[in-house]
């Protein structure tokens, strides 16, 4: 693929008249001015300087939408054919910027304030108080530690998923049936799973899993009483829903490996075991890493099952960061502290994932 | 004609045969075991919705053999045969949540697929420069949104939506859901478009179509399976989404997972009611999963294999 120029190269004849250029500039700056005016009017009205009454900040949203549309039109007016190409990416980019970058900046502002949504005093800037509070909050560190455990559980999930994918890729009958059956847990909502498995099947008196445990010799099964066991149960429920995800990715990778490689190894006298470790597994490394990385990303969002089954208990042993912040907000409706915790979490994630990707890159493409 | 068999398998071959056979047994054993692991909770939920209290307490498993199915659970949702024509506030409530979920999921998936396909097509065909950002940077910018945990955005959005009066509206939810699934769409579609030869569009352009014309009439129909795959994946993720819905909706726009979650605690041993609700919540996706399994697998495999 060429690095220079478009892949789909078209020579276009664009004759931009000065009139058109002026019109385009006018569109961009004019609509930007309209947007700025809306913001200013809203801010002034909120501060009470002008007599206008606004029910909410929605006009600002309309202002932004207007500016976005004008910006898109102006691309075509200003740059002709080139502008039409920009139109492919611009809407998505504007959407993401508006929905991510702006709230993130806003979040930074909230994070350093004490803001109880239900209190009449509103937002109070409190400097680094939240940071200090976080530093001394054992539950937050505990939640972070739990996240590390939860993330480590991915290795087991990966092993199981790889095994299942190998079975599905092997020569079996009714492959389609098994594939559909194995895929099913992924379709279920975590909330439904937390009732189906966590609340009813693991119910200590009548749940079928409790019966099974009793039959296996566990006298008084309790799945969410002991911290370690409870954490393992959450891991298992989460693994149950997401193993199909890794399995499908690995299966796709397995099917992309030419059969001849295994056959050649077999002819050369390799056993199935060595054939796997020396051919299939190394060839699957890139796919495996992608699957694990995506799984980590999804794992870091883990919350629904915890919120609904244990709500963090016993004693915060099953808390993930997300579920902890969720409860923190629901109990005290303090937006400021929760936002700070979330931002610290985001920074940790970005650092960890970047390091992980760098390490993997170093390992996959060694530079001697 | 002697009784003695002259030709017979050697000792070694017989050994191979038993080994092959035991291998088969092991393989199918594991496969069936995992099938049970995957399907039993679903089976359990569906059958429990037809149980009554004694059945639950005695742990009956098989309908018609162990216990006679009753419509008790479905009656509590207003969906059993004898209540379906009668007025029912519970059913109203359930249907409202169901519609909310459907609207949020369909609208956000559609929006994400439209925005995402356009962006992915642009990124796979043209070179851009937005300030310092070039194509790889723009792609990374989009895909990096995957890393963003929802909790980071949740509280700021709570405040922002409050200001914008978008709390408890489907529109607000749709915009957030679109954001969360957009990177996945772009990831899948970028793969799709780069597998379509550029010559097709070149031919279309020579024949007088514009770039957008070529995109809409030539490329999109070819990429349609990929789009369906992306759409279904989005649908699964948005239909099941709980976290944002729990924080940002309360009465009007509340979705089905929030309803399910709010009922789990209060039901005690009335498992049949919860089971009926859970069944109703998971059934649409189970059907989609069975019917469109091909597309789901295609979608998830798209990024895995380069």
Residue span of the structural domain in which A285 resides: 138-364
Residues above pLDDT 70, as percent of chain A: 95
Same domain, A243 and A305: yes
Calculate mean pLDDT across residues A29-35.
89
Main-chain dihedrals φ then ψ at residue A124, nearest 5 degrees: -120, 120
Residues above pLDDT 90, as percent of chain A: 20
Q: Mutate which of B118, B156, B269 to disrupt the A interface (most A C-beta within 10 Å)? A: B156
A118, part of any domain: no
- Which residues in chain A are contacts of B116 at CB distance < 8 A? 92
Distance CA A97, CA B128 (A): 17
A143, part of any domain: yes
A6, part of any domain: no
Q: Mutate which of A195, A207, A296, A341 to disrupt the B interface (most B C-beta within 10 Å)? A: A195
Calculate mean pLDDT across residues A122-132.
77
Distance CA A189, CA B259 (A): 12
Return the residue matching tokens 């008249």. A17
What pTM, to 2 d.p., does this model score?
Answer: 0.88
**CA dihedral (B119, B125, B126, B131) positive or negative:** positive
Tell me how many residue pairs between chain A and chain B have CB atoms under 8 A apart.
308
- Mark yes or no for CB contact B164/A58 under 8 Å: yes
The DSSP string of B145-182 is GGTS-HHHHHHHHHHHHHHHT-TT-HHHHHHHHHHHHH
A337 pLDDT exceeds 70? yes
Residue A81 touches chain B, beta carbons under 8 Å:
yes
Main-chain dihedrals φ then ψ at residue A334, nearest 5 degrees: -100, 110
Residue A43 touches chain B, beta carbons under 8 Å:
no
For B45-78, b/e burial (b = at least 16 CB within 10 A) is: bbbbbbbbeebbeeebbebeeebeebbbbbbbbb
Within a 10 A sphere around the Cβ of A357, how many other Cβ atoms? 12
- Mark yes or no for CB contact A192/B281 under 8 Å: yes
The pLDDT of residue A5 is 58
- Mark yes or no for CB contact B304/A208 under 8 Å: no
Within a 10 A sphere around the Cβ of A184, how many other Cβ atoms? 21
Same domain, A225 and A317: yes
Same domain, A178 and A215: yes
Which among B220, B185, B226, B227 has a CA at the least distance from the CA of B200?
Answer: B220
Q: For chain B, give every domain's residue range.
A: 11-76, 89-304
The DSSP string of B229-250 is HHHHHHHHHHHT--HHHHHH-S
Give the distance from CA B73 to its chain's centroid: 25
The enclosing domain of A314 has a CATH number of 1.10.3720.10
Return the residue matching tokens 């068999």. B5
Q: Judging by beta carbons within 10 Å of its beta carbon (0-12, 13-18, 19+), is residue A6 exposed, middle or buried?
A: middle
Return the residue matching tokens 């059993």. B80
A27, part of any domain: yes
Same domain, A85 and A213: no
Same domain, A93 and A144: no
A46-98 tens-digit pLDDT = 777 776 777 778 888 888 999 999 998 888 888 888 888 888 999 999 999 88
A4, part of any domain: no
Q: What is the CA radius of gyration of chain A?
A: 28
The pLDDT of residue A1 is 38
Residue A278 touches chain B, beta carbons under 8 Å:
no
A187-224 tens-digit pLDDT = 898 888 888 888 888 887 788 888 888 888 887 878 88
Same domain, A79 and A146: no
- Mark yes or no for CB contact A339/B246 under 8 Å: no
CB A326 within 8 A of CB A303: yes
Which among A333, A287, A309 has a CA at the least distance from the CA of A117?
Answer: A333
A299, part of any domain: yes
ipTM over 0.90: no
Residue A324 touches chain B, beta carbons under 8 Å:
no
Same domain, A92 and A221: no
The pLDDT of residue A44 is 82
Same domain, A93 and A236: no
Residue A253 touches chain B, beta carbons under 8 Å:
yes
A154, part of any domain: yes
CB B108 within 8 A of CB B225: no
Query: A315 — alpha (psi -120 to 50), left (phi > 0) or beta?
Result: left
CB B104 within 8 A of CB B255: yes
Using CB atoms, pick whichever of A6, A57, A339 lies closest to residue B156. Answer: A339
Q: Would you write out chain B's pLDDT as a tens digit for each of its 306 residues?
A: 556 777 777 777 778 888 888 888 999 999 999 999 999 999 988 888 888 877 777 777 787 777 778 887 788 787 777 777 777 788 888 889 999 999 999 999 999 999 999 999 998 888 888 778 888 888 888 888 888 888 888 888 988 888 888 888 889 899 999 999 999 899 889 888 888 888 888 888 888 888 888 899 989 999 988 899 899 989 999 999 999 998 888 888 888 888 888 887 655 667 888 888 889 889 999 999 899 888 888 887 776 665
Give me the CATH code for the B89-304 domain, please. 1.10.3720.10
Q: Identify the three-state secondary structure at position B22.
A: helix
- Mark yes or no for CB contact B278/A5 under 8 Å: no
- Mark yes or no for CB contact B159/A91 under 8 Å: no
pLDDT band of residue A3 (cuts 50, 70, 90) is: very low
The number of helix segments (H) and strand segments (E) in chain A equals 16, 2
A347, part of any domain: yes
The pLDDT of residue B306 is 52
The DSSP string of A145-174 is HHHHHHHHHHHHHHHHHHHHHHHHHSS-SS
Query: A56 — alpha (psi -120 to 50), left (phi > 0) or beta?
Result: beta
**Looking at the 3D structure of chain A, how many domains does it have?**
2
Distance CA B88, CA A22 (A): 63
The pLDDT of residue A145 is 92
The pLDDT of residue A6 is 67
């Amino acid at each position: 693929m060429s690095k220079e120029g478009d892949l789909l190269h078209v020579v276009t004849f664009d004759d931009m008249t000065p009139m058109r250029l002026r019109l385009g500039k006018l569109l961009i700056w004019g609509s930007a001015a309209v947007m700025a005016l809306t913001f200013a009017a809203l801010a002034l009205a909120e501060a009470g300087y002008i007599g206008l009454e606004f029910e909410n900040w929605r006009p600002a949203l309309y202002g932004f939408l207007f500016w976005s549309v004008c910006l898109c039109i102006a691309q075509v007016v200003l740059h002709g054919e080139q502008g039409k190409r920009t139109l492919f990416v611009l809407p998505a980019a504007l959407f993401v910027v508006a929905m991510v970058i702006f709230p993130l900046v806003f979040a930074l502002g909230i994070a350093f304030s004490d803001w109880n949504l239900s209190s009449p005093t509103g937002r109070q800037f409190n400097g680094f108080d939240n940071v200090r509070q976080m530093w001394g909050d054992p539950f937050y560190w505990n939640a972070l530690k739990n996240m590390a455990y939860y993330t480590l559980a991915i290795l087991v999930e990966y092993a199981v998923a790889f095994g299942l994918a190998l079975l599905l890729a092997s020569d079996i009958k009714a492959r389609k049936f098994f594939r559909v059956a194995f895929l099913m847990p992924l379709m279920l909502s975590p909330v439904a799973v937390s009732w189906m498995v966590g609340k009813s099947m693991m119910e200590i008196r009548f749940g079928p899993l409790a019966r099974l445990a009793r039959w296996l010799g566990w006298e008084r099964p309790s799945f969410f009483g002991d911290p370690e066991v409870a954490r393992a149960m959450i891991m298992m429920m989460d693994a149950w829903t997401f193993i199909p995800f890794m399995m499908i990715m690995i299966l796709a990778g397995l099917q992309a490996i030419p059969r001849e490689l295994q056959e050649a190894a077999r002819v050369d006298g390799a056993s199935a075991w060595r054939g796997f470790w020396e051919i299939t597994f190394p060839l699957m490394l890139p796919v495996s890493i992608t699957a694990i990385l995506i799984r980590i990303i999804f794992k870091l969002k883990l919350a629904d099952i915890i919120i609904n089954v244990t709500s963090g208990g016993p004693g915060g042993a099953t808390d993930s960061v997300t579920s902890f912040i969720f409860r923190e907000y629901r109990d005290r409706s303090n937006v400021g502290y929760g936002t700070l915790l979330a931002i610290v979490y985001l920074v940790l994630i970005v650092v960890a994932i970047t390091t992980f990707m760098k390490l993997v890159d170093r390992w996959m493409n060694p530079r001697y | 004609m002697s009784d003695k068999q002259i030709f017979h398998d050697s000792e070694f071959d017989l050994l191979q045969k038993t080994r092959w056979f035991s291998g088969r047994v092991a393989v199918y054993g594991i496969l069936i075991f995992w099938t049970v692991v995957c399907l039993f909770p679903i089976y359990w939920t569906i059958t429990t919705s037809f149980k009554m209290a004694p059945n639950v307490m005695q742990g009956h498993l098989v309908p018609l053999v162990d216990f006679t199915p009753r419509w008790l659970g479905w009656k509590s949702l207003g969906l059993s045969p004898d209540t379906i024509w009668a007025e029912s506030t519970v059913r109203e409530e359930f249907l409202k949540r169901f519609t909310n979920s459907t609207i949020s999921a369909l609208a956000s998936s559609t929006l994400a697929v439209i925005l995402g396909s356009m962006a992915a097509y642009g990124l796979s065909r043209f070179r851009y420069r937005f300030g310092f950002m070039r194509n790889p940077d723009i792609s990374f910018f989009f895909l990096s949104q995957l890393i963003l945990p929802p909790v980071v955005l949740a509280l700021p959005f709570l405040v922002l939506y409050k200001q914008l009066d978008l709390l408890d509206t489907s529109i607000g939810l749709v915009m957030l859901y679109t954001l969360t699934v957009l990177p996945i769409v772009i990831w899948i579609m970028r793969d799709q478009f780069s597998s379509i030869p550029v010559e097709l569009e070149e031919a279309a352009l020579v024949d007088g179509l514009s770039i957008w014309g070529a995109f809409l009439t030539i490329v999109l129909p070819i990429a349609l399976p990929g789009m369906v795959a992306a759409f279904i994946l989005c649908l699964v993720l948005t239909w099941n989404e709980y976290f944002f819905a729990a924080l940002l909706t309360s009465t009007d726009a509340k979705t089905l997972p929030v309803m399910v979650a709010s009922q789990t605690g209060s039901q005690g041993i009335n498992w049949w009611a919860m089971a009926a609700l859970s069944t109703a919540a998971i059934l649409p996706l189970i059907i989609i999963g069975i019917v469109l399994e091909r597309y789901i697998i295609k979608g998830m495999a798209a990024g895995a294999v380069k």
